[in-house]
Amino acid sequence: MIPPFDYIIPETLEEACNILWEAGKGVGVIAGGTDLVIGLRNGDHSPRLLIDITRIPELRKIEEQDGRILIGAAVTHSEIVSSPLLKKYGKILSDAASVIGSPQIRNLGTIGGNIVNASPAADSLPPLMVLNAVGKIVSREGAREAPLDQLFKGPYETNLKPHEILVHIGFEKLSSVMRSSFIRLARREAMAIARMSMAVVLRIERSSNLIKDIRISPGAVMPRPQRMPEVEDFLKGKSPDEAILKTASQKVSGVMVLTSGVRSSTPYKAPVVEALFLRAMRSCLEDRG
């Protein structure tokens, strides 16, 4: 049974920040509620007050500003999937959002909720990592920006203060010469939490066929979302032939083990995460046209 609580729907960001600041402990923020409601039912959360942020205009927009794409924290996964801006300049995020849960979940669940819930298996986080996403956070203390990876402390833990609100996530538009791929593995194709995923952004210099830029972020295999700079540095300046990609895939599993430690699932996860990386890379290479 969900415990009783008060419910407030602020109309402005300033109003929401004031309520959070003055309310103190025992306050939760809700948008789609797809994760929070489960937590309420399971007894994981018992707030005395919930603040519904879905009517705040700044949190509902997808827009382009100065070469960057900004996505409001209360934008739903369905809105991300259908956004022409994201299909053109951040397709990897649109692709990932299209496989989150069911249509009902995508219609309710928000990008901000997916981030703040901080699940290692969240489908939106690896794409946002390879897009070099930056979050804007506000409170009565003011506004600040932070790279996405700095928002996470560990599984289901963020570095957000109790009185702070994530307003939007922004990233530079991917150029037409960049290719991207998001691959996920789940128990079934739809309505299942990802057991593993892989996001890759790749740029190949056509004249030399060498990798000029690459960004790699796995999902659900490490305690928090992060890139793999060791593997990225290894690949930069190299031709993406099968031998190089195979070596890189082994480095991917090596970083995973080094970060997460050896577990009972490691013999299974290591070859699978290598295979996901290879699939993502091949998808990028095939998409070069």
Residues 244 and 168 placed together within one structural domain of the fold: no
Torsion angles phi and psi, residue 104, rounded to 5: -65, -40
Position 173 scores a pLDDT of 97
Residues 23 and 80 placed together within one structural domain of the fold: yes
**116 within 8 A of 225, measured Cβ to Cβ:** no
Report residue 194's pLDDT band, with 50, 70 and 90 as the boundaries.
low
CATH number at residue 5: 3.30.465.10
pTM over 0.85: yes
Residues 46 and 75 placed together within one structural domain of the fold: yes
The domain boundary, picked from 114, 139, 174, lies at: 174
Token look-up 């992060």 returns 226
The domain boundary, picked from 150, 174, 198, lies at: 174
Mean pLDDT of the chain: 92
* Parent domain of 104: 1-174
Range 261-278 average pLDDT: 90
- Residue 208 neighbours by CB under 8 Å, 6+ apart: none
Residues 158 and 204 placed together within one structural domain of the fold: no
CATH number at residue 230: 3.30.390.50
Report residue 208's pLDDT band, with 50, 70 and 90 as the boundaries.
very high
Q: How many domains does the chain have?
A: 2
Residues 65 and 189 placed together within one structural domain of the fold: no
Residues 198 and 218 placed together within one structural domain of the fold: yes
- Residue 189 pLDDT more than 60? no
Residues 242 and 152 placed together within one structural domain of the fold: no
